[in-house]
Amino acid sequence: MKKGIKCLTIMTSVMLGLSVCSLISQPSNQENSLTLTGQKRQKAIAKVGQHYYFQQLSKSEQENYLTLHDSLSQFREVISLAPTSKESLIKTVDAFMMDNPEFYWITSADYRFELSDQNAFVTFPLPKDVKKTYQTLQTIGDSIIAKMPVENDYEKVKYFYEVIIQDTDYNKAAFEAYQSGDQTQISSNQDIKSVFIDHLSVCNGYAQAFQFLCQKANIPVAYIRGTGTSRQTQEAFPHAWNAVQLNGQYYGVDTTWGDPVFDNHLSQQQQTGINYSFLCLSDQLMSLSHQASKDIVFNAKETSKNVWRIPVCTDDSLIYAKRNQSYLTTFDTNVILNSLEGQLLQGQEQVSLQFANQADYDQMVADVVDNQARYHNLFSHYWDNYSGFSYGLLAETLSITFTNRT
Quick: pLDDT tens for 94-128.
Answer: 999 999 999 999 987 778 888 888 889 999 999 99
Burial class (CB in 10 A: 0-12, 13-18, 19+), 59: exposed
170 closest CA partner among 158, 159, 181, 178: 178
At position 386, the amino acid (one-letter code) is: Y
**Residue 157: strand, helix, or coil:** helix
Q: What integer pLDDT is reported at residue 108 of this predicted model?
A: 78
Confidence (pLDDT) at 202: 92
Lowest mean pLDDT among 234-238, 279-283, 352-356: 234-238
3-state secondary structure (DSSP) of residue 207: helix
pLDDT, greater one: 221 or 348? 221
Around Cβ 29, how many Cβ atoms within 10 Å? 10
Separation CA 392–CA 114 (nearest Å): 51
Q: What is the C-alpha separation between 52 and 263, in angstroms, rounded?
A: 29
Residue 79 has pLDDT above 50, yes or no: yes
Whether 180 contacts 98, CB under 8 Å: no
Q: Is the pLDDT score of 2 beyond 50?
A: no
Mean pLDDT of 320-336: 94
Mean pLDDT of the 23-32 span? 40
State yes or no: pLDDT of 252 exceeds 60.
yes
The tally of CA atoms less than 13 A away on the side-chain side of residue 126 is 16
Residue 183's pLDDT is 65
pLDDT for the residue numbered 22: 33
Choose among 172, 289, 302: nearest CA to 226.
289
Parse the chain into domains and list their residue ranges: 6-123, 150-304, 326-404
Q: Which CATH architecture has domain 150-304?
A: Roll (3.10)
Residue-by-residue DSSP string for 83-137: ---HHHHHHHHHHHHHH-TTSGGGSS---EEEE-SS-EEEE-PPPTTHHHHHHHH
- The least confident of 6-20, 99-113, 159-173, 244-258 is 6-20
Average pLDDT of 165-186?
Answer: 75
Could you tell me the pTM of the whole model?
Answer: 0.88
Please give the torsion angle defined by the CA atoms of residues 156, 158, 164 and 165, in that order, rounded to the nearest 10 degrees: -160
Q: Which of 51-65, 246-260, 391-405 has the lowest mean pLDDT?
A: 391-405
User: Which one is predicted more confidently, 261 or 290?
Assistant: 290
Q: Quote the pLDDT of residue 5.
A: 37
| pLDDT for residue 118 | 84
| pLDDT band at 379; cut points 50, 70, 90 | very high
What pLDDT, on the 0 to 100 scale, is given for residue 141?
98
CB 379 within 8 A of CB 404: yes
